Structure formats: C-alpha cells, structure tokens
Amino acid sequence: MKIVSVVGNRPQFVKSAALSLALVSKKIDEVVVHTGQHYDRELSEVFFEELGIPSPRYRLDLHTAEPRAMEAGIGPVLEREQPDLVLVFGDTNSTLAGARASIKAGIPLAHVEAGLRSGDLAMPEEHTRIEVDSLAAHLFCPDERSAETLRREGAHGEIHVVGDVMADASMRFAPAARERNPIPYEPGSYVVATIHRQSNVFQPRLGAIVQGINRVPEPVVFPAHPRTRANIEGAGLVLGSHVRTYGPLGYLELASLASQARVIVTDSGGLQKEAYWYGVPCVTVRPSTEWVDTVEVGANVLVDANPGAIASAVATAAMPGERPVLYGDGHASERIALVLRATMRGR
C-alpha cells in the first residue's frame, strides 16, 4: 500500500512526524511531498532533522502559498507515484492544494483533523476545512464534536473519531524537548507569544497586538515568523524592552519554551491545543477558534486585536482546577494507520 502525504507548514511537519512512525509500523509506504509553503529552513528542514524522520521524497520548492501553483506541482507527483490514497492535514493552502490534486487525479483523499469548525467564514481556513471535508473519502476527526459536525453537514466520506495526532506528537516529543533545550528563564516567569496569521500581521491589527504585548509586565519571549518580523519593522512598530524576539525556533526549542511558560499568547491553532496539553493557560488573539472545547473549560481565552483586552487576559489567565482529557490519548496515529491498512487490505 502506498500513500502520498502532503505537507507544507510547521504544524503539518509535526503531525506528519507522529503519523509517519505509525505508518511504518503497519508496513505502509509513505511518500511525503513538501510543497514549500514554508520555505525558511527553521520552519521546515529543521523539523526533519530534529524529529528524526526521513526527508520528503519530493520538494516542490515553490516558495509560494498559492494553492493553484501547489496543486500544479503535486499533480505530476501523483501521476508518477500512483498512490492508493492521498493524505492531507489541517486547513492550510497546502491542504487545499493536495485535496484538489487528489480529486483531479481520481485518487481517494483522507483528511486528518476533519470536522473542525470555528463558525467564522471570514477566515480562509474555514472555507478550506469545509471544502476538503466535502471531498475526502476518509475523515479522521479529533473528537465526537467534529464527527457530529460532519454528520450534520452530510459529509459523504467515512467518519473516524481517532483523536488528535498533535497530541501524539506532544506526548512523544515534549519531554525530550525540555531535556535537550534548557531554557534561560525560571519556569512560569515569562509569557510566550507567537503571531503569524495573515489577518494579524498587517495594520491596524498588527499594531494593536504589539501594543497589547507591550503592556504585559512580565518578560515576553516572541519567536517571530519572518513575515511578522518584516511587517513589524516595515510599519515602524517598536516592541518593549521586556520583549525578547527570536527568529523562528525549531519544534523542540519552542516546545521547551512553551511548556514552561506562565501564559501563551498566540493565533496558532496548534499551539492552543499544545498549551492545554502542557497545562499552560492560553490567550488566543482571534475572534474565533476551531478548538472551542479549550475555551469552554476555561483554559483558553479569545480576545480580538485590542491592546487592553490582550493585557488583561494575560494578567488573569489560569488553568481550570479540573482539566478533562481533550482531543485524544496520544494514540491517534496508530488508529489512523489501522484504518488505512484495513481499508486498503488486498489492494
């Protein structure tokens, strides 16, 4: 059995790493295609080195986030490899390009993180989730809520509640991250901030977010995405002296920092979940989130791009007294591999 996995950005490398190990254990041949959506070395190549997984067999090196360009690059790979199935992750433009290329080639599609909805159609990611789920033959959901969403929408694919592959990666890699990457701060004495979504890295929202971060009295560790850093500089925005900026960090470096922070401020989908698994309260700088359970249990606070609201949310952020298990038990990858193996048995 052969699968083509399409990856292109930081969270997808992590998800793919956890799942690749399970696919190997089930003797499934995986061909990884790296679209090049994230082409900075610290956002891509470092993952394969750090996590000890094979490098992608195909590197499109397109240096673009344009779905049509990526779809055009993925198509010839599918024609050459003739896989039994195409696997896509999450809700990025690489996800959309891989899904469209799969359908165009007449190859069944599987979607990991299916059924997630923020309810905010102003987000491009929401449109991607809906479209990819409508195309997929296999829908791997992190929880029953996501599965029920797909049932309400009348999804045609087979629905499987498996848990979250990011939980697998977090449980597998976070202890090693802290051991390999000691932090230069007292645990619990600082805030980690990551801002990268397109809606947040242009004015006026970017300026409001910077103001909010500047109002946080504690040290703030800010690993800046290249575009975020360039736009801060281009807009003439000034970060406070208590804000320590870094270039993009490797996954293990960020896991070490984030898992020992007092609060995480982010617009990342993946980091919201990781914060929960780490036991670190999260402030999400977005008007909506697809990970609504973290908000409902009180571990995650949604704030818009308002300086005062950001600073206030950070000051009062705290984990709930009881922390129910959310999004799986660390064995999602194994369940996905078992489903795929059974689906393709005899082919």
The fourth-level CATH superfamily of domain 2-163+331-343 is Glycogen Phosphorylase B; (3.40.50.2000)
Q: Which residue has the tokens 């499987």?
A: 160
Contact 14, 169 (CB under 8 A): yes
Contact 295, 316 (CB under 8 A): no
Q: Do domains 2-163+331-343 and 170-316 have the same CATH topology?
A: yes
Question: Considering the domain 170-316 in this protein, what is its CATH number?
Answer: 3.40.50.2000
**Domain spans, the chain:** 2-163+331-343, 170-316
Q: Which whole-number Å values give the CA distances from 60 to 32, 65, 105, 121, 343, in the listed order?
A: 11, 12, 18, 30, 29
CA distance 245 to 261: 15
CA distance 292 to 116: 9
Report pLDDT for 346: 46
- Give SS3 for 95: helix
Report pLDDT for 148: 98
Mean pLDDT by 10 residues, the chain (347 residues): 90 84 92 79 58 78 86 97 96 96 98 94 93 98 96 97 92 84 94 94 97 98 93 97 90 92 95 94 95 95 96 98 90 96 69
pTM, full prediction = 0.80
- The catalytic residue positions are 196
Q: Could you tell me which residues come within 8 angstroms of residue 109 by beta carbon, excluding any fewer than 6 positions away?
A: 85, 86, 87, 88, 98, 99, 102, 103, 132, 135, 136, 137, 138
